[in-house]
Structure 1
Amino acid sequence: MLLVIDAGNTNIVVAVHDGNHWLGTWRLSTSPQRTSDEYASTLLTLMEKQHIPIDKIDKAIIGTVVPPVLYQLLLLCRQWFSVEPLIASSCLDWGFEILVTNPQEVGVDRLLNGLAAYTLYDGPLVVIDLGTATTFDVIDEQGNYCGGVISPGLTLSLEALHKAAARLPKIGIGRPHSVIGKETIGAMRSGIYWGYIGLIEGIIKRIQSEHARKLTIIGTGGLAPLLAEGTTVFTKINAELTLEGLKILAHRNLIK
């Protein structure tokens, strides 16, 4: 069985795949201070509840954009699962070319999303990942990574608005009933939600203008389903795209 670890800026997603199905998926908060033993304490309990035998795990892969957590995740795999994990990086066999000036600068999460999206949906396509940052990644007809766009994430923008403007409260994210807000909170929610809808639609329109063929638009990340309610841009929503990418990458590089 394959242990898959996707460590993002906010959450670490851990999953187990038996070669045919995902047996379990769990989310832990990302914290550079958390030790491998602390991760193991939580994770082993969750796995036990779903009757997943840890001694059957014989392969592991880690993808992360948060270098400070990598060492403890390495220890987690080595000490608690007795496996040496594959670390996702631009140096591995991805099965496609990374057509940017410096491939080492591209976050592995973006490459993983592109790999999974092309495998599942074919190209050309754009993956929109609505996480801590909002990223747009372009994959061509051959599956090559062509580059993309990075903008601040929706939650990050809300935090910045609250911190920079003393009289604006901290609010939750939701789809407003109308664009015009009748009070401060309603106006903020409208600005954030419809502002990001406008950002998504505008950037996709400009990316499409640079391509002769119609692009498939794949949404991923925790906020993708919410924002998909307000636009027809998305062709498909797949919240677990990065996990799929890690599984595919592991098969290319670990499972021969």
Structure 2
Amino acid sequence: MLNLAIDMGNSRIKVGFFEGGSLVRESIFTDLSQIGEALKDQEVQHVIVSSVRKTPEKLSNVVPLLGKQLLFSAQTPVPLQNAYATPSTLGVDRLAAAVGAQHLFPERNCLVIDAGTCITYDIVEAAGVYQGGSISPGVNMRYQAMHTFTGKLPLLSGTDLPPRPGKTTEEAMKSGVLYGAVAEMEGMIQHYERQYKSLTVVLCGGDAPFFESTVKARIFVIPELVLIGLNRILEYNV
């Protein structure tokens, strides 16, 4: 019997299928109805939904449920002490990733880095306390900002590293965005390594492969970290 962890973003829906607490597969959908089609012949016990868009009041209309449907929000109990000063403004994906890291690396200080639309850095202390962290623009957002707020700079994309120094405007822009983001991440890791004698760095997000190959630090890359955290929160509540 399956439990589902559903992470609904603006453009796609990531679903983790869990059995006995273990992730057995992960799929990406564009519409909730596709999930129902994928689960026609399977029994689903519990579901947790993390969403930045409107969700149906009863997910059982789409996916037949035998148990509980949980919509993850700031009011949902989590297996961490949350020391964030404004928990109602904390992104649920940040908190879910923190829970996932604490579940996978218990009793260890963790720096959780999510390299997506924004790059977030979050600290979970060994005692199970979420302390908050930092938010900065992601790679594509940096490209977009330079194009939007200048008159002549083109809109670029991609993570192919240019030569240094850049000999063209495009190379110079890519150099600033990519090497700058790498330097930022390495600097954040070094800062928290000084603050915590023992630190585990956990990386997820769409740009994780780029940073894994370029950042000079020992990093655990776990793309499904948010889904693992959501499932842990689901288990904690049911």
1:139–1:146 Cα contact (<8 Å) kept: yes
Which residue does the alignment assign to 1:242?
226
- Measure the CA separation in 1 of the matches of 2:81 and 2:93: 16
Q: Residues 54, 3 of structure 1: CA spacing in aligned structure 2 closer, same or farther, 3 A cutoff? A: farther
* Displacement of 1:222: 0.8
Q: Which amino acid aligns with 1:43?
A: I
1:19-40 C-alpha deviation (Å, 9 max, x unpaired):
25434422245xxxxxxxx530
Correspondence for 2:43: 56
Please tell me the root mean square deviation across aligned C-alpha atoms, in Å.
2.1
Matches within 5 A, 1:182-221: 182-211=167-196, 213-221=197-205
- Gapped runs of 5+ residues in structure 1? 30-37
CA contact (8 A) 1:179 1:194 kept: no
Give 2:63's aligned residue: 81
- Rounded to whole Å, the distance in 2 between the matches of 1:54 and 1:153 is 40
User: For 2:48 and 2:94, how far apart are their aligned partners in 1?
Assistant: 16
Alignment-mate amino acid for residue 80 of structure 1: V
1:146 counterpart residue number: 131
Secondary structure class of the residue paired with 2:122: strand
Cα offset, 1:248, TM superposition: 0.9
SS in 1 for 2:223: coil
Structure 1: how far apart are the matches of 2:118 and 2:218? 18
**In 1, Cα distance between the equivalents of 2:117 and 2:49?**
19
Q: In structure 1, what residue type is equivalent to 2:61?
A: Q
TM-score (normalizing by structure 2): 0.88
Give the structure, 1 or 2, with the largest relative contact order (CA under 8 Å, sep 6 or more): 2
| Structure 2 gap ranges (5+) | none
**1:172 to partner: Cα distance:** 2.1
Q: Are the aligned partners of 2:212 and 2:219 in contact in 1 as well (CA < 8 Å)?
A: no
How high is the TM-score relative to the length of structure 1?
Answer: 0.83
Q: Structure 2 vs 1, CA of residues 224 and 195 (structure 1 numbering), >3 Å: closer, same or farther?
A: same
CA distance in 2, matches of 1:23, 1:204: 31
Answer with 5-14 or 107-116: which moved more. Answer: 5-14
Distance change >3 Å, CA 226–CA 246, structure 1 → 2:
same
Q: C-alpha separation between the residues in 1 aligned to 2:185 and 2:138? A: 12
Residue 60 of structure 1 aligns with an amino acid whose one-letter code is V
CA distance in 1, matches of 2:29, 2:145: 24
CA distance in 2, matches of 1:230, 1:210: 23
> Larger helix proportion, structure 1 or 2?
1
Query: Size of the alignment, in residue pairs?
Result: 234
Secondary structure at the aligned position of 2:82 is classed as: coil
Provide the rounded CA distance (Å) in 1 between the counterparts of 2:3 and 2:97: 19
